[in-house]
């Protein structure tokens, strides 16, 4: 029997799975396809890493490791839903919830002193940030807007904010001392080993990372974020925002760049509130307040302290006297400096560009902003887009072309693989990357507080990435641009490899170019404004930024992108879209029983998954399911049966009902497989006849608080009860 691995993740996608999974299992078994549901949620990952603290009944398998091994095999067919890329505060919340539920997992030791604490910290490090993605991504990504979605948007355009030429919104980035400016890079000729060693100016030395393997022909980089220059830059950005009388905001990737970016976030917070941190230095030390965790944790730790009111007053006065801070949630008083995991650059900057360059102030009114993006490596991507919007105005979704992406990400390529090679340095000296013979491969001068980072990009993924780019360009007859900056040390090495591996392919009739980021942005936007398509071929982090920015401009959301990862050993990984708004959806569901989460990303990924299964395992019924699901997806959009915006209207569960009905109708009408047609004809008929009753049961379950037994690890029975409120629909689905 064929298998699809449909991952159980977190928040709104977790809830949606409990509604959609019974439908999926019922339809899939008609094609001899079994659905497995491995738990890679944040809570699941915590429990899997600490079996020794649990009873036999509480232990769960390490599903992420098992999927990581599966991803290297040709039979892999994995649908990956959005999961929490945990920040430290989220990790601590999840641990607390699990402990209250009776799981004896240990507390998170942020600054471990004992060997036991260091061991626990190391295990939790495997859970933090982008723990899931690097494990599963044994291939490069192919992200694009499905035709059904693109065509729908052209006739049903989303709202776009208005850009004006005199917008004061700018991107503030460093001019020196950032990762971009300090980066050095080399291609390793022979396989071997490397270690990272800090050499102090006092002739002491410390091994930061002991020997690890190097592959022949891989690219390695090192770079440094200079803390002193970073803080000087933040002061200048704050001065600019104050002078222009506009908002100040920070935009980082603290969830994915889980070591470096929380430190950068902390430096921004500490610089802005410099007087407060200096005045209460002793109190903050006593309370173990770390600026890396933002204002939210600071407020929690001063709660009940004798100086609480005075500290809060000084914080408010600083905001009053300084540039006003952009808000994450104006109603709840949550600023852009509250929690590092709220500051997700790909989501926040795309929303700003779509909104006409605006962010929210504390009164809930939109204003221009100075956007702090310290590192030039990617800041200039956003700067170029903002400059284009000021010059050429808001885009028109009804005529805008599309910018699909082929992204280099296999085998932890580039920055996303840097977590175990990123360190904050405690004193002045030199950090050297040395091979097993003591030869220095890379070297950086560092000062107290600087962030050192080393990255690796293996040769095989680069070669596969070039092959995928050429293949996509030919299949779609679309120009492809490699977004590579010859002035960046890493990119200059990658360019040499791209030029070499392009020679392995027939490029006749293809338009394939290499451009730096600014040129690539402007060319892609110009073509898109003319209704033309352009494939962006990019590195790993830039891939994330491109595949949020352009879909949010084109489609209004990145959740409706088709995200396929052709795995290097023949399998397939199908990702279902972004999860940035998931917490708000869960909150609304718990309060009023309405889940606005749109599962279209899951439907699109599932169609591609069945198609891959049909090709790779010669399962003809799976192809029929895929074709019928494609029809159902188009009809779902055409009839506007995605979740609405208000309680009392169709929500996520209602959209699953309509998807099931349209899928059954398409299967009943197809002629490729008589057995499937006969199976689903009565199902389609019954769903059509009972549409009103099912809708009434779905809508009737709204406007009531919901108890699912937890946020990070909900109770499965309670969740199924909440997410399957229609007895009529359940009866039909369960009888298929």
Asked whether residue 580 carries a pLDDT value surpassing 70, the answer given is no
Asked whether residue 239 carries a pLDDT value surpassing 80, the answer given is yes
pLDDT band at 578 (very low <50, low <70, confident <90, very high): low
Nearest Cα to Cα of residue 99 among 726, 701, 713: 713
pLDDT band at 671 (very low <50, low <70, confident <90, very high): very high
Sheet arrangement for strand 327-329: 334-335, 327-329, 359-360, 366-367
pLDDT of residue 581: 66
State whether residue 322 is helix, strand or coil. Answer: coil
Asked whether residue 400 carries a pLDDT value surpassing 90, the answer given is yes
Asked whether residue 256 carries a pLDDT value surpassing 90, the answer given is no
Asked whether residue 124 carries a pLDDT value surpassing 90, the answer given is yes
The mean per-residue pLDDT over the stretch 487-500 comes to 98
pLDDT of residue 627: 96
86, 128 in Cβ contact below 8 A?
Answer: yes
DSSP per-residue letters across 705-721 = ----S-SSS--HHHHHH
State whether residue 513 is helix, strand or coil. Answer: strand
The pair of structure tokens assigned to 231 is 């803080």
Tell which wins on pLDDT, 197 or 414. 197
Residue with tokens 């689905």: 733
- Residue-wise pLDDT for 512-562, tens only, equals 999 999 999 999 999 999 999 999 999 999 999 999 999 999 999 887 788
The mean per-residue pLDDT over the stretch 352-364 comes to 96
Residue with tokens 């941190």: 277
Measured CA to CA, the distance from residue 435 to residue 677 in angstroms comes to 63
Write down the mean pLDDT value for the chain.
Answer: 95
Helix (H) or strand (E) holding 372: strand 369-372
- Residue-wise pLDDT for 607-626, tens only, equals 999 999 999 999 999 999 99
Measured CA to CA, the distance from residue 156 to residue 162 in angstroms comes to 18
Share of the chain above pLDDT 90, in %: 87
State whether residue 344 is helix, strand or coil. Answer: strand
Geometric angle at alpha carbon 499, from 495 and 500, rounded to 5°:
115
Instruction: Name residue 566's beta-bridge partners.
Output: 572
The pair of structure tokens assigned to 257 is 């760049």
Measured CA to CA, the distance from residue 565 to residue 540 in angstroms comes to 13
Measured CA to CA, the distance from residue 728 to residue 736 in angstroms comes to 13
Residue 448 CB: number of other CB atoms within 10 A?
A: 12
- Residue-wise pLDDT for 403-414, tens only, equals 999 999 998 899
């Amino acid at each position: 029997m064929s298998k699809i691995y449909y991952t159980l993740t977190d928040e709104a996608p977790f809830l949606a799975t409990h509604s959609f999974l019974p439908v999926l299992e019922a339809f899939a078994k008609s094609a001899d396809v079994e659905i497995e549901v491995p738990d890679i949620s944040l809570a699941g990952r915590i429990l899997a890493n600490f079996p020794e603290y649990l009873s036999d009944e509480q232990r769960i398998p390490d599903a992420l490791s098992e999927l990581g091994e599966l991803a290297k095999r040709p039979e892999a067919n994995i649908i990956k839903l959005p999961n929490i890329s945990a920040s430290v505060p989220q990790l601590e919340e999840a641990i607390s919830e699990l402990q209250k539920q009776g799981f004896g997992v240990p507390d998170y030791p942020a600054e471990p002193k004992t060997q036991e604490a260091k061991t626990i910290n190391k295990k939790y490090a495997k859970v933090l940030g982008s723990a899931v993605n690097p494990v599963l991504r044994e291939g490069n990504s192919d992200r694009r807007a499905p035709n059904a979605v693109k065509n729908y948007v052209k006739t049903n355009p989303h709202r776009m904010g208005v850009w004006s030429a005199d917008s004061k919104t700018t991107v503030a980035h460093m001019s020196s001392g950032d990762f971009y400016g300090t980066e050095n890079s080399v291609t390793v000729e022979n396989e071997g080993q490397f270690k990272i060693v800090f050499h102090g100016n006092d002739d002491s030395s410390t091994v930061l990372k002991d020997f690890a393997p190097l592959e022949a022909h891989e690219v390695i980089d090192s770079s440094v974020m200079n803390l002193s220059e970073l803080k000087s830059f933040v002061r200048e950005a704050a001065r600019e925002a104050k002078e222009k009388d506009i908002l100040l905001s920070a935009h980082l990737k603290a969830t994915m760049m889980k070591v470096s970016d929380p430190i950068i976030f902390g430096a921004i917070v500490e610089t802005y509130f410099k007087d407060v941190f200096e005045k209460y230095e002793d109190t903050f030390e006593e309370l173990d307040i770390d600026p890396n965790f933002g204002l939210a944790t600071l407020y929690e730790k001063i709660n009940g302290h004798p100086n609480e009111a005075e500290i809060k007053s000084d914080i408010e006065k600083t905001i009053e006297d300084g540039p006003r801070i952009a808000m994450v949630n104006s109603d709840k008083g949550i600023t852009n400096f509250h929690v590092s995991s709220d500051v997700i650059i790909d989501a926040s900057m795309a929303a700003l560009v779509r909104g006409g360059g605006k962010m929210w102030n504390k009164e809930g009114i939109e204003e221009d902003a100075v956007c702090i993006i310290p590192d030039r490596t990617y800041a200039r991507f956003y700067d170029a887009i903002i400059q284009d919007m000021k010059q050429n105005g808001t885009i028109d979704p009804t005529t805008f072309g599309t910018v699909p992406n082929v992204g280099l990400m296999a085998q932890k390529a580039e920055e996303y693989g840097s977590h175990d090679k990123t360190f904050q340095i405690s004193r002045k000296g030199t950090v050297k990357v040395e091979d097993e013979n003591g030869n220095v491969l890379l070297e950086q001068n560092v000062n107290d507080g600087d962030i050192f980072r080393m990255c690796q990009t293996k040769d095989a993924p680069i070669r596969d990435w070039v092959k995928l780019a050429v293949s996509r360009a030919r299949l779609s007859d679309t120009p492809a641009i490699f977004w590579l900056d010859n002035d960046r040390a890493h990119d200059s090495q990658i360019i040499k490899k791209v030029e070499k591996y392009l020679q392995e392919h027939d490029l006749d009739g293809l338009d394939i170019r290499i451009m730096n980021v600014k040129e690539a942005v402007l060319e892609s936007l110009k073509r898109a404004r003319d209704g033309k398509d352009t494939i962006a071929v990019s590195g790993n982090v830039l891939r994330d930024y491109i595949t949020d920015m352009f879909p949010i401009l084109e489609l209004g959301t990145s959740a409706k992108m088709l995200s396929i990862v052709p795995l290097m050993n023949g399998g397939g990984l199908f990702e279902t879209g972004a999860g940035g708004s998931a917490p708000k959806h869960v909150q609304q569901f718990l309060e009023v029983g309405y889940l606005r989460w749109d599962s279209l990303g899951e439907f699109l990924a599932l169609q591609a998954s069945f198609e891959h299964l049909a090709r790779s395992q010669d399962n003809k019924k799976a192809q029929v399911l895929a074709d019928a699901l494609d029809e159902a997806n188009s009809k779902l959009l055409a009839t506007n049966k995605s979740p609405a915006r208000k309680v009392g209207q169709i929500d996520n569960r209602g959209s699953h009902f309509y998807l099931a009905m349209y899928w059954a109708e398409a299967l009943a009408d197809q002629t490729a497989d008589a057995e499937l047609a006969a199976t689903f004809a009565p199902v389609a008929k019954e769903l059509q006849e009972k549409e009103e009753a099912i809708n009434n049961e779905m809508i009737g379950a709204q406007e009531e608080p919901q108890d699912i037994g937890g946020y990070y690890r909900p109770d499965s029975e309670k969740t199924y009860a909440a997410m399957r409120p229609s007895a009529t629909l359940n009866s039909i689905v369960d009888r298929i």
